[in-house]
A and B are shown apart, each in its own frame.
Chain A
Amino acid sequence: MALTSRAARARSTADLALHVHDYRPDANGSRRERLTALAFIAPALLGFAVFYFWPTLRGLYFSFTEYDVFNRPVFVGLGNYRAILEDSTFWNAMLVTVEYVAINIATQTVLALLLAVLLHRLTRSVFVRSVIVLPYLIANVVVALVFYWMLDAQIGITNQVLGWLGTGPVAFFGDQNWAIPTIALVNTWRHLGYTALLLFAGMVMIPNDVYEAGRVDGASEWKMFWRITLPLLRPVLALVLVITVVGSFQAFDTVAVTTSGGPGDASRVIQYYIFDLAFQRLQFGYASAVSVVLFVILALVALVQLRLMRADQSDVA
């Protein structure tokens, strides 16, 4: 999910240490060099052509067909796309996904900002940062199952605690209204530390003099956050948001091992719906069309975000 060229540009302003010794791109090199290069990129080129490029074209083609995986695909023109417009399950999936993304991103970003500021202002301890990033290294499936247990309606620890507080029990995964917030918060738990470390890395690049100057002027930590950290962090924050939002739209694992899209369609996020269509209902053509729509939405979301936050213009320089 890449934005790499943007990242490279955002980086170039902050990049202090990298001395680039590049050959001129217009130089074509010796014959030997060209042949070596060809041999060296051959495996990657093969992987790219077979598993990225070709399936992208094929996926586009399938989206214009009716295809049950066993018989030949039948061309139906824009039929699938027209069907999407009237597919209430699709629109529900979009709604559920947007709700998921909103809760996940809002909590994750605010908490990660807080955590990054705490790290930035308090400590450089590798231990602290290790603990904080640990959940990110654990597989989604594992995280989902641990929370599935901790949030169990009958004997999960969370409901025991709620019981002591005089409320509950809440069927976190089994209740229509709770399923999506629960799944979103589980993912916030997993991604919080990692997101914070990305923001932290951005904060470290802000020159310390700026804070010194702020302190001389008698600014409080609170004021320095709003006047210094946040504005100077904006390009980094924009990139983090684009990456996390795009990633969040593709939630699947947690849903698959906890609710399977239920109860009803309450947690049938778009990625799970596509999986469902393709592999349970064998509507491969239609599933491809929905994934094209997802692709377009993700591209638009990324573009709009980058525009809004002017991610490629840094204030640091």
Chain B
Amino acid sequence: MATTAAPSDIDLVLKAPAPAERRKAGPGRVLAWTALVLIMLVTLFPFFWMLRTAFSNGASLATQPASLLPVDPTLGAFERVLGLASTEEAQAQGGSGAAIDFVRYLGNSVVVATFITAGQVFFGAMAAYAFSRLRWPGREAVFFLFLTALMVPPIFTQLPNFLLVRDLGLLNTYAGIILPYFFMTPFAIFFLRQFFLGIPHEVEEAARLDGAGPVRRFFGVILPMASGPLATLAILQYVQAWSEYFWPLLVGSDDRVRVLTVGLGIFRSQTPQGTPDWAGLMAATLLAALPVVLLFAVFSRRIVNSIGFSGLK
């Protein structure tokens, strides 16, 4: 449920007045900072614990459950989930030895999230252009109809969509996982429309006088101007597609097309030696979270500033 804002909000945030009263370092301020730091620590601790456990030897975890450092440090958990360890090695460190091919799931997640993002951003931009800068009868009515799609809870459409995908023979295919999200998401259209509406009329008018038709104006003028919002939208939709669990669970549980989230759910339900393979599980969650964390490290300013109030999803 990504919520983002049109560029105007970014400006608002950046131009926002600096917090006042830096000079007063009274007890209230110290208390406030303490609370903020505390919240940040609580936010970060699970990530630290994920790391600490992933580098531990699963078989020894129980001996030092509260150690802040990895217990009996090893890369075994990663070797296990990446299919590099033999069955015996895996079992010696608390793994199941059953084949869980995270490299493949990682690849599947990349394929699915990339196609969904590309489709949503491209088709969303086209539709947004038609809804904001082209004149045609029924424009507002169709736009309103699209917006109502935001109201319907996903589960409601996902049951019939499952049947549709099944009847099309697309169960356990990439196409089945991707298609329902590929052509449109109301959010993308709304988000980009807001931005396109804000582009001054004159910009396009100049191209029009040069004889450029609407298609050329879209690709030559509007899209390049919108590269920032397009990138923001792409990042947000990628993260969301990467995190999706329910739909790929319904239509893509087969090993060949299984995405990371679904694979993790299955991995968790395997309890080789009475308990889950905790070290392996944390290594796997770390691998699943890593691409998003890296993406975020690079684009954090863009993402953080885009969370505001114009486009609600």
Residues of A that sit less than 8 Å from B by CB: 1-5, 7-8, 10-11, 14-25, 27-30, 32-34, 36-38, 40-41, 43-48, 50-56, 58-59, 62, 69, 111, 114-115, 118-124, 126-135, 137-143, 145-150, 152, 154-157, 160-161, 189, 192-194, 197-198, 201-202, 204-205, 208, 211-212, 215, 221, 236, 239, 243, 246-247, 249-250, 252-253, 256-257, 271, 274-275, 278-279, 284, 287-288, 291-292, 294-295, 298-299
Contact = CB atoms under 8 A, between A and B. Distances in A.
Given A28-B135, A122-B33, A189-B46, 7 more contacts: A48-B146, A115-B39, A124-B19, A139-B242, A139-B243, A152-B275, A256-B245
A4 B150 contact: yes
Given A69-B163, A140-B245, A36 B49 contact: no
Contact of A29 (B136, B152, B200, B264): B136
Interface string B288-306: 1100110010001101110
A150 B197 contact: no
B112 interface: no
A40 to B, nearest CB: 4
19 contacts: A1-B151, A4-B186, A14-B309, A15-B8, A21-B197, A28-B136, A37-B134, A43-B126, A62-B159, A132-B39, A137-B303, A141-B264, A208-B20, A243-B3, A250-B154, A252-B246, A253-B246, A271-B155, A294-B155
A145 B304 contact: no
B254 interface: no
Contacts of B145: 48
A118 B161 contact: no
Contacts of B285: 142, 145-146
B256 interface: no
Interface stretch (B73-81, B83-91, B176-184): B176-184
Q: Which of A30, A36, A114, A115 has the most B CB atoms < 10 Å from its CB?
A: A36
Contacts of A124: 16, 18-19
User: Which size bracket describes the interface of B in this complex?
Assistant: 35 or more
Contact of B150 (A1, A50, A197, A208): A1
Contact of A132 (B6, B19, B43): B43
Contacts, number: 370
Interface in B125-172: 126-127, 129-137, 139-140, 142, 144-147, 149-164
A48 B152 CA distance: 12
A141 B153 contact: no
B261 A141 contact: yes
A249 B153 CA distance: 10
B13 interface: yes
A142 B151 contact: no
Contacts of A10: 309
A34 B138 CA distance: 11
Contacts of B13: 201, 204
Given A44-B184, A149-B278, A130 B296 contact: yes
Given A16-B8, A154-B62, A257 B264 contact: yes
A253 B8 contact: no
B245 A139 contact: yes
Nearest to A253: B245
Nearest to A17: B8
Contacts of B199: 21
Contacts of B12: 16-17, 201, 204-205
Interface in B208-240: 213-215, 218, 239
B46 A147 contact: yes
A15 B132 CA distance: 18
B19 A120 contact: yes
Q: Which of A40, A189, A294 has the most B CB atoms < 10 Å from its CB?
A: A40
B40 A146 contact: no
B189 interface: yes
Nearest to B267: A145
